[in-house]
Amino acid sequence: MPLPTLMFAILPNLDDATRVDPTEDGAGWHTSNTHLTLKAPDGGHVFEPLTALGYVRPDHKLERAKAYSIIGPFGHDVISGKSIIEHCRDTKKEVIINPQEYEHLAGKAVVNGLGMIVDFYFEDVDDVTGWELTVNAKHDWFDPRVSRFKQIVVHYAATESSRFWPIQTEELKEFVITYHFVLFTPISFDWPQIAVGAKMMLHGSVIRKDPISGWFIVKSEFVNHLLVFWNGSLLPDQLLS
């Protein structure tokens, strides 16, 4: 089962988008350099490089020195450390924002998707807030720029023969995001359902990036909309009315 996640963010675009394959005509993949605004440890803001990857016609590509509201699949390459957000013509919109207002964008990007729990822990913070849940969840993303050909066998019953056909597949990249639930930690009744290997619907704001692991850190929200899966089956008592 795929483990996709979507991101919504307002992104200042730094350069004109360029074609991934310059031999193509019409619609195709275009990349440009943007940056994600995160919260800094000192309370300010920092910029994290983010590649915008759009399947658009040349007249709809991102332009330099403009800002865009973008929603689309989010991915992270753990080897190169680069992060990507996909878009098309209808999932990006030009917005106006002054450079002096970038600080207000810090920690405002949102991710929403399905993740598999890699590990988790509960922390007893204080007597007021009680136990707080932190989850490291694995997601995946298919990179359309890196495709591979593999062969499948097609059997023809009428002629009792077989033939190998090549098909093109996108490269799967896996990555981990850390989710801090804080005040949205599920009640203790739901804790037995949280386990390594379980799948969860996760939602929250991207606040910073861990300098050691390179994982993005998300402040989780809306626990009432959280569904927990186990071995691909939806637990009956977690169904929403």
In a domain, 182, yes or no: yes
Mean pLDDT of 20-30: 88
pTM of this prediction?
0.83
Which pLDDT score is estimated for 155?
Answer: 56
CA distance 89 to 68: 12
Tens of pLDDT, residues 106-132: 999 999 999 999 999 999 877 777 889
CA distance 173 to 139: 9
The verdict on 124 and 15 lying in the same domain is no
The verdict on 107 and 131 lying in the same domain is no
Which domain, by its residues, includes 12?
5-112
179 near 218, Cβ under 8 Å? Answer: yes
Compute the mean pLDDT over every residue in the chain, rounded to the nearest whole number: 84
The verdict on 101 and 196 lying in the same domain is no
114: phi then psi, degrees, rounded to nearest 5: -105, 130
Amino acid at 197: G
CA distance 19 to 29: 6
Which pLDDT score is estimated for 191?
Answer: 87
Give the dihedral sign, CA 87/214/171/2.
negative
3-state secondary structure of 101: helix
In a domain, 134, yes or no: yes
- The DSSP secondary-structure symbol of 157 reads T
Task: List Cα–Cα distances, 2 to 113, 172, 174, in angstroms.
Answer: 10, 10, 10
* Confidence band for 225, pLDDT divided at 50, 70 and 90: very low
The verdict on 78 and 128 lying in the same domain is no
Q: What is the CATH number of the domain that holds 42?
A: 2.40.50.140
117 near 198, Cβ under 8 Å? Answer: yes
> What's the structural domain count of the chain?
2
CA distance 210 to 153: 45
- The DSSP secondary-structure symbol of 65 reads T
Tens of pLDDT, residues 133-175: 999 999 999 888 876 545 555 555 555 555 555 555 567 889 9
102 near 45, Cβ under 8 Å? Answer: yes
Q: What is the CATH number of the domain that holds 192?
A: 2.40.50
